[in-house]
Structure 1
Amino acid sequence: MPRSQRNDNFIDKSFTVMADLILKLMPANKQAKEAFAYYRDGMSAQADGEYAEALENYKEALTLEEDSYDKSYILYNMGLIYASNGDHQQALELYHEALELNPRLPQALNNIAVIYHYQGEQAKEAGNPDGANALFDEAAEYWKRAIRLAPNNYIEAQNWLKTTGRSELDVYF
């Protein structure tokens, strides 16, 4: 049974009814509508913590989706799942794929920076200051790109850039 038919609460049912109505009225071909249905089911499963089911739906949506912009969000959501499960390498690959399709995706840039920053902290704790600094520099570059796209977001990253001397600008917004 599709996830959209299993929702138990009022809000989920309301969302499903609206999404199904939009899907029916949407001026798109059958394949695009089917891709959207898989994407919607993937988001629902992801919200419920059903990551394996979400990934299955996202992978199916990717095979059906033709629009590169929409594909970028599918890949981004898959990256979120891998990152939350600690598979940072796979998450990085998916975020980079998403950025290849949609370079204006600041949340992917931010998440890449977060992973590099985390890896920098790990290297620092392991007694590898040179490796840590290289990873922190990578994080800084991705945060700068994210901030350029969304100057009012990522305030903590802006503060980190400034306090670590990795910022060329005093104020981004």
Structure 2
Amino acid sequence: MPRTQRNDNFVDKTFTVMADIILKVLPTNKKAKEAFAYYRDGMSAQGDGEYAEALENYEEALTLEEDTNDRSYILYNMGLIHASNGDIDKAIELYIESIELNPRMPQALNNIAVLYHYEGEKAREAGREEEAEALYDKAAEYWKQAIRIAPNNYMEAQNWLKITGRSEMDVFF
């Protein structure tokens, strides 16, 4: 049974109904509509914590979707799943792919920075100080890029950059 027929909560049902209406009225080709349906089902499965099902739907959406901007969001969502499953390298790889398709995606830049910072914390706890500093420097570079795109976001990152001396950026908001 398709996911669109299984949703039990009001928000999911509302989202599905709206998505179906949009699919019917959008002046686009059948392949793009099918890609969106897989993307929609992937988002629904992801929201329910059904990550394997979400990844299957996203993979299928990627095979059909031709629009680079839409592909970037599919890859971004796949990165979220891999990050939450602890596959940091795969998550970073997917975020980088999404940024290559859509360079103005601060959330992907932020997520890469968060993952590098997390890995830096683990390295520091393990006594690998040089490795930790290198990872923090990588995190700083990605946070600076994200902040340039969205200067009113990522306030904690901005504070961390200033406190650690990794940024001289002055962001006025």
Distance 2:172 2:83 in 1: 27
Q: Residue in 2 aligned with 1:93?
A: 93
Correspondence 1:13 to 2:5: no
Amino acid at match of 1:126: A
Moved over 4 A (4+): none
One-letter code aligned to 1:133: E
> 2:171 is paired with a residue of what secondary structure?
coil
Amino acid at match of 1:51: Y
* Structure 1: gaps spanning 5 or more residues: none
Q: 1:83 to 1:172 in 2, by over 3 A?
A: farther
> 1:73-100 CA deviation, whole Å, 9 max, x = no partner?
0000000000000000000110011011
Alpha-carbon distance in structure 1 between the residues aligned to 2:172 and 2:89: 30
Aligned to 2:64: 64
Change (3 A) 1:172 1:109: farther
TM-score (norm 2): 0.97
Give how far 1:168 is off: 1.4
Task: Give the counterpart letter for 1:62 in structure 2.
Answer: L
Structure 1 residue 13: Cα displacement:
1.7
2:158 corresponding residue in structure 1: 158
Aligned to 2:122: 122
- Tell me how far apart the structure 2 counterparts of residues 14 and 143 of structure 1 sit (CA, whole Å): 35
Equivalent residue of 1:142, what SS?
helix
8 Å Cα contact 1:162-1:170 kept in structure 2: no
Contact conserved, 2:119 with 2:132, CA < 8 A, in 1?
yes
Moved more, 4-13 or 46-55: 4-13
CA RMSD of aligned residues (A): 0.9
The answer to whether structure 1 residue 43 and structure 2 residue 43 are counterparts is: yes
The residue identity in structure 2 corresponding to 1:71 is: R
1:7-54 superposed Cα distances (whole Å, 9 cap, x missing partner): 112222222111101100001100000000000000000000000000
Q: Distance in 2 between matches of 1:133 and 1:9?
A: 45
Aligned length: 173
Could you tell me which residue of structure 2 aligns to residue 112 of structure 1?
112
- Structure 2: any 5+ residue segments left out of the alignment? none
